[in-house]
Amino acid sequence: MKAMQIVSFDGAEGMRYQEAPLPEPSAGQVSIDAQYSGVGYIEALLAEGFLQRELPWTPGLEVAGTIREVGPGVTGLEPGQVVAALIMGGGGYGQVVVTGADLVAPLPDGLDPALASVVPANTTTALIALEHVAHMRAGEHVLVHAAAGGLGSQMGQVARLLGAERVVGVTRSPAKRQAVLDLGYDEAWLPEELDSAEGGQFDVVADPVSGPGRLRSLDLLRVGGRLLALGDAARGGDQLINSTSLWLRGAGVIGFNLGALTAADPALVGQYLRRAVGLVASGEVGIHISERAPIQEAPRVIAALRQGSTIGKTVLVHEPRS
């Protein structure tokens, strides 16, 4: 088969579309003929050597396509079903992918598989992080960093779905302020507005960026507030947080990593995945697809994502296997 692989840790320039081994499902797994793959910021970081992998390596966490084979012990799924899937071990940029049966969601009639391909990572993360991890309650106020990105575009909507009274998005780009508002946020802030904001405004802060903004966000938490550490897109490294300050403020910091939870409890993640697919199919959560690009153009897409010039999600389109 063909796959877009990382062949050197040189960012987008170190990616090649080339022949790769055809994966086969083991017990409890299915293989999928991928039609579409979602693109996430993590792929840009992996291409730069974040979490070193043996090369060549095929990135990609989310796909939609048709089940090719089911491994021993798999029930409720069968070849020919159109599905979306989460692939936590990588491989989503290949023509054929393998994943655990728990992490597969059959698509409802009428749901565009291209749209479904960008549900598994970000929409699922938003649901788990806000509901299962932060225990968000109706009436709370929520702040989301990188609000125009793939995850941010889902966080605001899911927070509203869970009953948030006020949802504010932060973006580094003045040009993206309107895009943030169009995604359903009540307000769109720039980093300088974050710096000058009055403290004690928010019950939940969702931060996939890290850097100095994470520390500033702690001051914005109310008593009982929770800061969700969801990533390190800024590559800002460790931020030193004073535990005594957390105690006195009555606030908390919670880390959430989709890969770690999937490894520990794939059945739980699968439940949230299938719920996320249902919410998108019903229109309760919308996804903005900025582009559908051939898989061969993944390096260009990854470079644009790394530069912060994209809004929402990009879909990679696979060519059929010959």
pLDDT in 10s for each residue of the chain, 322 residues: 999 999 999 999 999 999 999 999 999 999 999 999 999 989 999 999 988 889 999 999 999 999 999 999 999 999 999 999 999 889 999 999 999 999 999 999 999 999 999 999 999 999 999 999 999 999 999 999 999 999 999 999 999 999 999 999 999 999 999 999 999 999 999 999 988 899 899 999 999 998 888 888 899 999 999 999 998 887 777 778 888 989 988 999 999 999 999 999 999 999 999 999 999 999 999 999 999 999 999 999 999 998 888 888 999 999 988 7
Q: Which CATH number is 2-118+287-317's, of 3.40.47.40, 3.90.180.10, 3.30.70.980, 3.40.50.300?
A: 3.90.180.10
Please state the pTM of the whole predicted model: 0.95
| Beta strands at 166-170 and 141-144: parallel, antiparallel or unpaired | parallel
Domain boundaries, the chain: 2-118+287-317, 122-258
Q: 250 burial class (0-12, 13-18, 19+ CB within 10 angstroms)? A: exposed
d(CA 75, CA 64): 19
Question: Quick one: CATH architecture of 122-258?
Answer: 3-Layer(aba) Sandwich (3.40)
* Token pair recorded at residue 239: 């931020």
DSSP secondary structure string for all residues of 138-155: TT-EEEESSTTSTTHHHH
Tell me the H-state helices in the chain: 41-47, 113-116, 122-127, 152-161, 177-182, 191-196, 212-219, 243-249, 258-264, 266-282, 298-307
Closest CA to 62 of 26, 91, 41: 91
CB distance 91 to 58 below 8 Å: yes
